[in-house]
Structure 1
Amino acid sequence: MQNAFLPVEAASALVASGAVLFISGPETLLRQLPQGNWIGATTAYFIVEGGGVSREDRLFCTRFDEAVAARSAILLGDRLAELVERRYDHGFSCVVVPAFSAALQRYAVEGPDLSGLYNQPVFGWVAGVHLGKVGSETPKVFDGKTGIVSEDGVAALWIELPDTIEPHLDIVNLFDAGDHEAISFPEAGFDVTDCCIDGVHANLARYVVANGLDTRLPLVADYAGAMINVSFQAVDAENGRVRFYAPVVPGVTYRLARPVADYAGAYAAAAGDGRAETMLSCNCILNYLYADLEGHPTGGFVGPVTFGEFAYILLNQTLSCFSLREAPRST
């Protein structure tokens, strides 16, 4: 498994070589790539060795030399179950989904309940565009095998691995729950009006404004031992509505996150003694903005900056990272 930040000519040569690839970058460059064993998605932001950058002339390419076989497709409409049904017995799945699409909402709501989803790593990101072009350009995903481009589908790449290689999927969440009141919700969804705050019925939007909450910080909840973020997209106190980048879940207790004092130091600590540069990592655009990651390294974690991340389920303000390792030898 190798990462490279390449001009389109070099990326095209890599595709032509028959390599199995996961590619991110500007739409104009992705459209120039030849057909081959790859899927891709649009973004204008990346984390490279020197830190965060916004580039319109490069593609971030991850090459899976360990692949025994690969197949790809764009899943439309009610075909989400194929994400699990079409995978290999030993391997992993890569996915990309356009931001602001119905496909993303379907995945966010229905994905966690797919039968067998957690039996094998599912890794990927939400496609985006340059922030200055939101509203004028649409995020897109690509199936390199067929040449199909979609604004509303799940692009999936299923990869088979030899028995000697194991896939590893992790998340780095720099946030934990703060000391604010406990918040719970009666219904699942991206759009919220009513909630309970310390057991008392309330309107979330008006509570956020009245208490001056910093919506650059996500809500954090414990999902079966994993701390998961739900990030604020918009707060409309006049109409009493909050829009999130991921759905809240009933029966779960959320609290506003504690601020992170040193993002770069926290990423370096998360990397530890490991070689983070040998992983493919997806970091959220909200971290890129709020932590001022442009030009600042993130402990060696490299990859696209995205409008959301997948580590089985949809995540926000999180870094998800994927690697391939030799399987332990049996004794």
Structure 2
Amino acid sequence: MKNAFLTVEAVGAMITSGATLFISGPEALLRQLPRGKWIGGTTAYFILEDGGVSREDRLFCTCFDEAMDVRTAILSSDQLSGLVERRYDHGFTCVMAPAFSGALQRYAVEGPGLPGLYDQPVFGCVAGVRLDRVDTEMPKVFDGAAGTFSHDGLAALWVELPETIEVDLDIVNLFTVGVGSEFSFAEGGFEVAECLVDGRPTNLARHIEEQGLDTRLPLVADYAGAMINVSFQAVDADNGRVRFYAPVVPGVIYRLARPVADYALAYVDAAKGRSAAGMLSCNCILNYLYAELEGCSTGGFVGPVTFGEFAYILLNQTLSCLSLRDVPAEHK
């Protein structure tokens, strides 16, 4: 696999040559691309090797030149089971969903329960728009083979690989559980009013305001050994409501994350000497903003900056990364 930050003309030539591509960039450029073996999603933010940038004249694309065969589709909210049913015996799936869409919310809630979901890697991102256009533009995803797009569907790219290639799917979460209060919820979802704070019934929005909690930090919980974030979208203390970018799960214990002292250094440490530039990585727009990543390197990790990430399930304020490698000789 290869990553590149290219003009629309260069990406179009790759599509015409038969390349299998995962593409992110401005809607105006995605609309110009020819039909072919690709899916795409809107964004105007990217992490390149020399740092974060906001550009509307380039597309970030990853070419899966190891692909033997591919399928593409845009799945509606009622077709999410197709994500598992349509995959190849050996390969992986890339997905893109528009931010704030019904398909995204339904996958976030129901996706973790899809039979067989974790049997094969599922990687992807949440399409977004420029932050100053959130109220005027809708994020969109594209099915390059069909020549269609959607603001409320899940774009999927199923990739078949030779048996000699393995897939590595990983997440880099710079946040760890803090030492403050415990939060738990009787009901899950993207929006809540009441919760338990250290076992006491409490209105979460008013608690946040009264305690002056820093909502740039996510809630963090241990999901079967993995630290998973739930990020704050909006806190409405007047009406006693809190909205999240991912659903909270009933019965799970959350705490506010510890602050990260140096994001750039933390990404360098997370790379652990790996060639991060050879991976496809999706980093969260909240990390881009709060850590001021524009112009700052992130340990070699490159890829689109998105409104959420997928590593099987929906993630927030996380970096998800996908890489392909030859199967070790002793395993062949």
Q: TM-score range by the shorter chain?
A: over 0.9
Which secondary structure state, in structure 1, belongs to the residue aligned with residue 79 of structure 2?
A: coil
CA distance in 2, matches of 1:77, 1:69: 25
Counterpart of 1:223, as a letter, is Y
Deviations 1:269-302 (A, max 9, x none): 0001110000000000000000000000100000
Instruction: Structure 1: state its 5+ residue gaps.
Output: none
CA distance in 1, matches of 2:42, 2:234: 23
CA distance in 1, matches of 2:242, 2:107: 20
Matches for 1:116-135 after TM superposition, within 5 Å: 116-135=116-135
Deviation at 1:328, TM superposition (A): 1.9
Q: Which residue of 2 aligns with 1:215?
A: 215
Q: Which residue of 1 aligns with 2:320?
A: 320
Deviation at 1:211, TM superposition (A): 0.2
Question: Would you say how many aligned residue pairs link Structure 1 and Structure 2?
Answer: 331
Counterpart of 2:208, as a letter, is V
Counterpart of 1:80, as a letter, is L
Deviation at 1:119, TM superposition (A): 0.4
**Is the 8 Å Cα contact of residues 77 and 107 (structure 2) preserved in structure 1?**
no
CA distance in 2, matches of 1:251, 1:210: 24
Q: Percent identity?
A: 73
Deviation at 1:135, TM superposition (A): 1.1
Counterpart of 1:221, as a letter, is A
Is residue 252 from structure 1 mapped to residue 247 from structure 2 by the alignment? no
Structure 1 stretches of at least 4 aligned residues deviating more than 4 Å after TM superposition? none
Counterpart of 1:3, as a letter, is N
Instruction: Structure 2: state its 5+ residue gaps.
Output: none
Which secondary structure state, in structure 1, belongs to the residue aligned with residue 329 of structure 2?
A: coil
CA distance in 2, matches of 1:273, 1:50: 17
Deviations 1:197-222 (A, max 9, x none): 11111110011000000000000000
CA distance in 1, matches of 2:77, 2:281: 28
CA distance in 1, matches of 2:189, 2:269: 34
Deviations 1:131-153 (A, max 9, x none): 01111000000000000110000
**Is the 8 Å Cα contact of residues 38 and 144 (structure 2) preserved in structure 1?**
yes
Q: Which residue of 1 aligns with 2:300?
A: 300
CA distance in 2, matches of 1:250, 1:327: 39
Deviation at 1:329, TM superposition (A): 2.1
Which secondary structure state, in structure 2, belongs to the residue aligned with residue 93 of structure 1?
A: strand
Which secondary structure state, in structure 1, belongs to the residue aligned with residue 61 of structure 2?
A: strand
CA distance in 1, matches of 2:124, 2:77: 19
Matches for 1:178-327 after TM superposition, within 5 Å: 178-327=178-327
Matches for 1:43-58 after TM superposition, within 5 Å: 43-58=43-58
Is residue 26 from structure 1 mapped to residue 4 from structure 2 by the alignment? no
**Is the 8 Å Cα contact of residues 264 and 296 (structure 2) preserved in structure 1?**
yes
Deviations 1:166-219 (A, max 9, x none): 011000000001111110000110001110011111110011000000000000
Which secondary structure state, in structure 2, belongs to the residue aligned with residue 112 of structure 1?
A: helix
CA distance in 1, matches of 2:250, 2:149: 35
Deviations 1:55-89 (A, max 9, x none): 00000010000001000000013000000000000
Q: Which residue of 1 aligns with 2:106?
A: 106
Q: Which residue of 2 aligns with 1:2?
A: 2
Counterpart of 2:41, as a letter, is A
**Is the 8 Å Cα contact of residues 285 and 307 (structure 2) preserved in structure 1?**
yes
Is residue 94 from structure 1 mapped to residue 94 from structure 2 by the alignment? yes
Q: Which residue of 2 aligns with 1:163?
A: 163
CA distance in 2, matches of 1:294, 1:21: 25
